[in-house]
Amino acid sequence: MTAPDTTAKLTAALPFALSLLTVPLGWIGAVYGGWTVVLLPLYVWWVITGMDALIGLNLENANPETPEGELHWYRRLTMVWFPIQCVTVFALIWYVTRAGHLNLLETLVLFFGVGVMTGSIGIVYAHELVHQRNKTERWLGDLLLANVLYSHFRTEHLLVHHVEVGTPRDAVTAKYNEGFHRYFFRVLRQCPPSAWAAEKRMLARRKASVWDRRNPFWRYAALQVGMLILAALIGGWAGLGLFVFQAFVAIWQLELTNYVEHYGLTRKYLGQGRFEHVRPHHSWNASHTASNWLLINLQRHSDHHFKPDRRFPLLQTYTEDEAPQLPYGYPLMGTIAMIPPLWRRVMNPRVRAWRNTHYPEVTDWAPYKTGLHAG
pLDDT band at 375 (very low <50, low <70, confident <90, very high): low
pLDDT at 372: 65
Neighbours of 164 (CB within 10 A): 20
Average pLDDT over residues 295-299: 98
pLDDT at 247: 98
φ, ψ of residue 65 to 5 degrees: the values are: -95, 10
Cα dist from 35 to 78, 95, 117, 161, 371, whole Å: 30, 18, 18, 39, 46
What are the E-state strand segments in the chain?
A: 269-271, 274-275
Mean pLDDT, all residues of the chain: 95
Could you give the CA distance from residue 212 to residue 195 in angstroms, rounded to a whole number? 16
pLDDT at 273: 86
Average pLDDT over residues 254-261: 98
Q: 292-312 b/e with 16+ CB inside 10 Å = b?
A: bbbbbbbbbbbbbbbeeebbb
The per-residue DSSP string of 25-46 comes to: HHHHHHHH-GGGGGHHHHIIII
pLDDT at 224: 98
**38 exposed, middle or buried (CB, 10 Å; 0-12, 13-18, 19+)?**
middle
Three-state DSSP state, 303: helix
Could you give the CA distance from residue 54 to residue 31 in angstroms, rounded to a whole number? 31
pLDDT band at 162 (very low <50, low <70, confident <90, very high): very high
pLDDT band at 373 (very low <50, low <70, confident <90, very high): low
pLDDT at 15: 96
Average pLDDT over residues 173-192: 97
**HSE, side-chain direction, 13 A CA sphere, residue 345:** 6
pLDDT band at 7 (very low <50, low <70, confident <90, very high): confident
pLDDT at 252: 98
Whose CA is closest to 329, among 39, 25, 46, 15?
A: 46
Q: What is the pTM of this model?
A: 0.95
192 pLDDT exceeds 60? Answer: yes
Helix axes 104-117, 22-32, angle to 10 degrees: 170
25 pLDDT exceeds 60? Answer: yes
State what percent of residues in the chain have pLDDT above 70: 97
Kindly report, residue by residue over 193-211, the tens digit of the pLDDT.
999 999 999 999 999 999 9
Average pLDDT over residues 151-173: 96
pLDDT band at 107 (very low <50, low <70, confident <90, very high): very high
Could you give the CA distance from residue 41 to residue 110 in angstroms, rounded to a whole number? 9
